[in-house]
Chains A and B, each alone.
Chain A
């Protein structure tokens, strides 16, 4: 996924997340979660995995219980709480919501790992070339400002700032440090502007540079994903996938279209795993030949 052209990886993730949210069908949601977890597994380290799971499990539990406590729809009461029914259907809907939330989180995590800010800028910098460059210039200033503020603070401490230990003194000292920081930054910005002008800024139309190229593999992945997406969408629009939770759980009949859509969506969410496996197999065969 990481080596795909940004337009392909970006569209892939957006479509995956959109379908997961829009198609209200537990099978689809579970498929999305399963595929997402496969993808997540090879994007994160063991430590990150522990942290993620530690966050998701309590969240899932909370979401599952939240719904039946506040929603009393459904025809199968399990027990009564303060005179309100705690229904089976509401619990299932809660569990479904939990799976949905976790699936979206898993996919968003994968998205942020693969579609980095550079790739995002590359995609949308074309429409707004100047904003993309300005963002790059601004991002450059942040670490510089942070370092400079630390320098000013250190220097200030040796000449009487932050010396009284009181909150007001600390506050006033910080004000003076930031005031001086603004002056120094403006001075710096003049230099930046000169450096831009010296290299021809504002003279000619800019041709944004990128090192991403649309390869044959990108086209293949895009076409394959598009077909799977089309099948799933067609089934969804025709109503073949509509699942209802209230008053009783009603699954749609397993028509040929629905079956094809389940298969297509499962395959779609496994695209990252397929690509990853393909790369691994290629490596293994390469190494065995060496």
Chain B
């Protein structure tokens, strides 16, 4: 039975000339897992919000949305909503208060509220965190809490808008598993919008793909892969589907990794070529020696006796789980925190010997995890001009030229707060580049990016390294590191455990490996897999 039926839904925002959604029709079966995919700006969020009456955006709307088995109009608790950023999703200061928020408003008795909160905490394994401050939770715990807080109202239908965008892959998997569990146990219908959808793709009952506000596919994953293969979303498909696409789509798309492996083994004609060792000796620009750092006296070190050389023109990726010390490492490398012991040198000179601010002109630049933090003015242009050295008109000229070069000229007049995640990042990068850095430090740059944004990031990094700049990326995105880095390192509890060229690095790893290496050990990308089958990458 369909729980939601959408008929010929169109929507336009009051200030926009074009429709955000055009003629969208679909029905979702009760208890099904539905995956909503689409590039940034394709209308995913608009559609999700229209399905939740309390969050429906203001604008012109045509068409129908009908719910079966819900009250009319649906009560807030019947449709659960989990957004992208758990920091805005969490409202109160304590875990129990957050869990109690929805039950308190459902007209239950005092004892029923107490029971519902206790039950929810037990089911989601939040008993240990019950009295904790919400701000002291990790990102993964926070997002599980928002899911539990929505589930506490006993919803029939759950809407999730990129819920794992801020999470590392392990926390994301745990989130998806919990979501799957409440769907299975309680028959909750799920509509999940995701950019990084490969982990849930095969599990979905139905895939809905939006492109420019139009629904281009509503089908099971295998059939939907046929439609998606021609779009930019193909880059986010699971590895077996991308492989199948590389082979020119013979028959049906393989339904899982095992089927993909069969397809691959049939076509494989040669071994991976030997990795040519780096012969050219590159100059070291930034080096850390015996670096140690603690946030608190007597706390375990966030960075523990770490030594690292960064060479000009290389892209170094530091992998590690959340809390491994990745962000701290970048703060130290950028001279924003003084090390407890050890030294960081830029061009042979210790960072503390650079006069205030002089390190950040022709020196080191850091793109923070939230690139929005780089913007302090009300338009992008003002912010860029502010960062560029020289007089006002020179600065503006430099800013406009660089913006043109990086394709953000049309964003110059926008307010930085209104940019999408990908746009913010690109504008932030341009702002940093105006100060002509030699070393760029990137903190989780792939977070929340759609496939097109990721590709653009990879191209941008390649271009910067070709110009001789050193790029250090800390990330938990294994696929990005495998495809884009010249060297990879693994950070765990502040210690650097391995540092090598990608192929050698991932060959030694058991768990932190790209999906392609599960079909052929040593392969980093789908391109490597296709190469050994004699196919060109597409």
Q: A residues bordering B, Cβ < 8 Å?
A: 118, 133, 136-137, 139-140, 143-144, 147-148, 151-152, 154-165, 176-177, 179-180, 183-184, 187-188, 191-192, 194-201, 203-211
> Given A151-B370, A207-B109 in contact, is the A136-B92 Cβ separation under 8 Å?
yes
With an 8 A cutoff between CB atoms, is B55 at the interface?
Answer: yes
With an 8 A cutoff between CB atoms, is B113 at the interface?
Answer: yes
With an 8 A cutoff between CB atoms, is B39 at the interface?
Answer: no
> Given A198-B52, A209-B103 in contact, is the A159-B432 Cβ separation under 8 Å?
yes
> Given A159-B386, A163-B360, A195-B83 in contact, is the A209-B93 Cβ separation under 8 Å?
no
A197 to chain B, nearest CB (A): 5
With an 8 A cutoff between CB atoms, is B320 at the interface?
Answer: no
B368 A154 Cβ-Cβ under 8 A: yes
B336 A157 Cβ-Cβ under 8 A: yes
Residues of A near B373 (CB, < 8 A) are 148, 151-152, 154-155
How many B residues touch A, CB cutoff 8 Å?
66
With an 8 A cutoff between CB atoms, is B324 at the interface?
Answer: no
With an 8 A cutoff between CB atoms, is B340 at the interface?
Answer: no
What is the bound-complex CA distance between A158 and B96, given in angstroms? Answer: 39
What is the bound-complex CA distance between A203 and B110, given in angstroms? Answer: 18
Residues of A near B374 (CB, < 8 A) are 155-156, 158-159
With an 8 A cutoff between CB atoms, is B297 at the interface?
Answer: no
A93 to chain B, nearest CB (A): 45
Q: List 24 A-B contacts (CB under 8 A).
A: A136-B97, A140-B91, A140-B93, A144-B135, A147-B135, A152-B373, A155-B374, A158-B334, A159-B386, A159-B435, A191-B89, A192-B88, A195-B146, A196-B91, A196-B101, A197-B54, A198-B76, A200-B54, A201-B105, A203-B75, A207-B113, A209-B104, A209-B113, A211-B96
Residues of A near B117 (CB, < 8 A) are 209, 211
With an 8 A cutoff between CB atoms, is B214 at the interface?
Answer: no
B57 to chain A, nearest CB (A): 11
A200 B153 Cβ-Cβ under 8 A: yes
With an 8 A cutoff between CB atoms, is B356 at the interface?
Answer: yes
B85 A191 Cβ-Cβ under 8 A: yes
With an 8 A cutoff between CB atoms, is B445 at the interface?
Answer: no
A151 B368 Cβ-Cβ under 8 A: yes
What is the bound-complex CA distance between A53 and B351, given in angstroms? Answer: 45
Residue of A164, A203, A208 near B76 (CB, 8 A) is: A203
B372 A184 Cβ-Cβ under 8 A: yes
* Sample of 18 more A-B contacts, CB < 8 Å, known A154-B366, A195-B83, A196-B91: A143-B133, A143-B135, A151-B373, A154-B373, A155-B373, A158-B360, A158-B364, A163-B356, A165-B356, A180-B375, A180-B376, A184-B417, A192-B91, A194-B55, A199-B77, A200-B77, A209-B104, A209-B113
B360 A160 Cβ-Cβ under 8 A: yes
Q: Tell me whether chain A's interface is mostly helix, strand or loop, or mixed.
A: helix
With an 8 A cutoff between CB atoms, is B331 at the interface?
Answer: yes
Nearest opposing residue in chain A for B97, CB measure: A136
B146 to chain A, nearest CB (A): 8
Nearest opposing residue in chain A for B130, CB measure: A211
A198 B87 Cβ-Cβ under 8 A: no
Nearest opposing residue in chain B for A135, CB measure: B93
B85 A158 Cβ-Cβ under 8 A: no
With an 8 A cutoff between CB atoms, is B90 at the interface?
Answer: yes
What is the bound-complex CA distance between A180 and B364, given in angstroms? Answer: 23
Nearest opposing residue in chain B for A187, CB measure: B417
Question: Residue among A137, A187, A199, A204 with the most chain B CB within 10 A?
Answer: A199
With an 8 A cutoff between CB atoms, is B134 at the interface?
Answer: yes
Residues of A near B365 (CB, < 8 A) are 158
A162 B91 Cβ-Cβ under 8 A: no
With an 8 A cutoff between CB atoms, is B508 at the interface?
Answer: no
What is the bound-complex CA distance between A13 and B114, given in angstroms? Answer: 28
A9 to chain B, nearest CB (A): 17
With an 8 A cutoff between CB atoms, is B193 at the interface?
Answer: no
Residues of B near A180 (CB, < 8 A) are 375-376
What is the bound-complex CA distance between A147 and B136, given in angstroms? Answer: 12
Residues of A near B150 (CB, < 8 A) are 198-199
